[in-house]
Amino acid sequence: MYGGFLGNILTRVMIWMLCGLKCLSFGLNSFMIPSFWFAYISTHSFIYCRLVFAISSPPHYKIEYYFLATAHIAVLMMNYVEHTYAGTQNESGDEQLHLDIDSDNAVFAAIRASQVFWIAASEETPVETNVGPASGLATGNMFSLGFDPLDGSSIIDANFSVGSIFGIWPGKGVLGRKGSEQVASAVAVHGPRTTLCIALGASAVSTQKPIVLEVTLVHNRHTWELSRDAIHIQDEGKVFAPGNLRATNDNPQYNALVQHWISNRYTLRYSGGMVPDVYHIFAKSKGVFSNVSSEKAKAKLRLLYEVAPLGFMVECAGGVTTHEAHDQSVLDIPIEDLDQRLGVCFGSAKEVALYKQFMFTNGGATKK
Ligand code: AHG
Ligand code: MN
Ligand code: MN
C-alpha cells in the first residue's frame, strides 16, 4: 500500500512533519524506506512515542509498533537518585532493582497499548505472557516480543550507559523460534543522549534490503529526531570489546585471541554493558564484541532477550555473528528455553573470521 513512489513521498512528508526539517540535512532524497515513519504525542510530563512502520508489500503486512517505552524509561531513569534493590529476584535468581521492575512495567504498558502484540517475555518476566487485545479484537498481523528492559543493571549506579533491547517476531510466541525470523529489533541506549536504533529486516522494507537507523530523543525528551539514516558495519576494524575476560584463565583459545588483539594494537572499548559495547560498533561502523565462556566462567547472555535482537541488528547492518564455540550465526539457534544462555562474537566480518580462526581450529572449542 505504501510502496513505490507514493509511499516515498508520504514517508518523507511524515518524517519532515514529525522529525522536523532537520531530516533534510540527512540527505533524505536518497532515503529509501517507504515503510517507515514516526509519530509522537506529548502530554504534560508523560511522553508518548509511537513508532509506526508499515510493510509495503504485500499491503496486508502492515504492522504497528509502539515504542513509548524508551521515552518512558528515559524519564524514569532521569528521576532515580539511588539504585536500590527491590528485595526480589527474577526467575534466573538475579537481584532486581526497583528500576528493573519499573522499566519492565513501562514496556509491558506500552506494548499492551499498541494492541499489535500477542505475547511478550522479558528478563524480568520470563514467561510467555499474553499481552494481546481481548479475543475477537485482534486485527491484522500480530507479533511477539522478547525484551530486556534494563541491560546493565550492575553498572547503572556508576552512571555508565545502559540500554533496553527488543526483538520482534511475527505471530504468536517466541519459544521454538529463531532470531532470523524476527521482522525487526530495536535497542535503546541511555547515555548522555537517549538513542533508539532500529533494525528492519528484508521482509519489512520494500527494497528487500535490511536497514538500521537511529533516532535521538531531544527537546527535553519530547521529540525524536532522526540521527543516522543508515548504519553499516565495515569489514574490518581494530576495536575490541572482550566480554567475560575472566574466562581467559581457563579458556586458552580465548586467551590467545585476546593476546592477539593486544599485541596488534587493537583499541579497547569495553564498558561492561552489552548494549553500549555492541552499540559502539554501530557508532564507529567497525569492531568486534565477544562474550566467551569457560568451565569456570559460565555464559551469561540470554539468547531471547539480548543475543537474538542485537545479533539481528548486527547482521542487518552488514556485520557477522557466531556462537562462541562453533561456526553458526546466532540467528540460526532455536530458542528452546526462555533463559537459554550462550557465548557469542559479533562485529566486522574479518574480525569475526579471525575470532573463528582462533577459537575453532587447532583443537579449539568443542562445546555445544
Ligand atoms: P543485565 O543487567 O540485563 O542483567 O545484563 C548485563 C549483562 C550484559 O549487559 C553484559 O555484557 C554482561 O552482563 C556483563 O557481565 P559481567 O559483568 O558479569 O562480565
Ligand atoms: Mn541484560
Ligand atoms: Mn536486564
Ligand 1 close to Cβ of residue 343 (< 6 A): no
Q: What's the pLDDT tens digit per position in 194-244?
A: 999 999 999 878 788 999 999 898 888 778 888 998 999 999 999 999 999
Q: Is the CB of 273 under 6 A from ligand 1?
A: yes
C-beta of 298 in contact with ligand 1 (< 6 A): no
Ligand 1: residue whose CA is nearest its atom 6: 152
**Residues near ligand 2 ion, CB 5 Å cutoff:** 148, 151
Provide the angle, in degrees to the nearest 10, between the axes of the packed helices 308-316 and 274-284.
0
Q: What is the dihedral of CA 79, 85, 91, 92, to 10 degrees?
A: 100
The answer to whether the CB of 96 falls within 8 A of the CB of 85 is yes
- Determine the pLDDT at residue 286: 98
Q: Is the pLDDT of residue 329 over 90?
A: yes
Which pLDDT score, from 0 to 100, does residue 76 have?
Answer: 85
Amino acid at 360: F
Note the pLDDT of residue 140: 66
β-sheet with 344-347: strand ranges across: 267-268, 239-243, 288-291, 344-347, 320-323
Q: What percent of the chain has pLDDT over 70?
A: 78
pLDDT at 93: 83
- At residue 356, the pLDDT reads 98
Q: Is the pLDDT of residue 339 over 60?
A: yes
Q: Which of 103, 245, 278, 300 to mutate to test the pocket of ligand 1 (most atoms within 8 A of CB)?
A: 300
What the block records as the C-alpha cell of 37 is: 515513519
| CA–CA gap between residue 225 and residue 221 (Å, rounded) | 11
- Looking at per-residue pLDDT, the higher value among 350 and 53 belongs to 350
- From ligand 3's centre to the CA of 259, what distance in Å? 30
In the predicted model, what is the mean pLDDT of the chain?
A: 81
Cell numbers given for 346: 559479533
Query: Could you tell me the distance, in angstroms and rounded to a whole number, from the CA of residue 272 to the centre of ligand 1?
Result: 6
156: left (phi over 0), alpha (psi -120 to 50) or beta: alpha
Convert the pLDDT of each residue in 4-36 to its tens digit.
333 333 343 344 334 333 332 232 222 222 233
Neighbours of 333 (CB within 10 A): 20
> So what's the pLDDT on residue 68?
66
Check residue 175 and give its pLDDT. 97
Question: What's the pTM value of the predicted model, to 2 decimals?
Answer: 0.84
For residue 342, the CA-to-ligand 2 centroid distance in Å is 13
Q: How far does residue 223's CA lie from ligand 2's centre (Å)?
A: 27
pLDDT at residue 85, rounded to an integer: 86
Residue 169 near residue 308 (C-beta atoms within 8 A) = no
Where do the domains of the chain lie, and which CATH numbers do they carry? Answer: 4-228 (3.30.540.10), 239-359 (3.40.190.80)
Name the more confident of 177 and 225. Answer: 177
Q: Does the structure show a pLDDT above 90 at 57? A: no
Residue 225 CB less than 6 A away from ligand 1:
no
Residue 264 C-alpha to ligand 2 middle, in angstroms? 30
pLDDT of 296 above 60: yes
Nearest CA residue ID for atom 11, ligand 1: 274
Q: How far is the CA of 150 from the centre of ligand 2 (A)?
A: 6
Q: Is the CB of 83 under 6 A from ligand 1?
A: no
pLDDT tens readout for residues 63-120: 334 356 787 788 888 888 778 888 888 887 888 888 999 999 999 998 888 888 899 9
What is the mean pLDDT of the segment spanning 307-316? 98
How does strand 267-268 pair with strand 239-243?
parallel
Element (H, E) at 199: strand 194-200
Please report the pLDDT score of residue 29 as a whole number: 24
178-202 pLDDT per residue, tens = 999 999 999 999 999 999 999 999 9
* Interstrand relation of 46-53 and 85-89 (parallel, antiparallel or unpaired): unpaired
Q: What are phi and psi of 354, to 5 degrees?
A: -65, -40
- Nearest ligand 1 atom to the CA of 277 is 11
pLDDT score at 48: 29
- The whole-angstrom separation of Cα 290 and Cα 150 is 20
Distances (CA, A) of 204 to 23, 207, 304, 311: 21, 9, 20, 17
How far apart, in Å, are the Cα atoms of 98 and each of 69, 111, 148, 160, 219? 16, 20, 15, 17, 27
Whether the CB-CB separation of 255 and 248 falls below 8 Å is answered with: yes
Q: Is the pLDDT of residue 365 over 90?
A: no
Question: Where residue 137 falls among pLDDT bands split at 50, 70, 90?
Answer: low
Tell me, rounded to whole angstroms, the distance of Cα 270 from its chain centroid.
17
Q: How high is the pLDDT of residue 95?
A: 86
| pLDDT recorded at residue 135 | 63
The pLDDT score that the predictor gives to residue 362 is: 65
Atom of ligand 1 nearest to the CA of 94: 4
Pocket test for ligand 1, best of 124, 154, 166, 307 (most atoms within 8 A of CB): 154
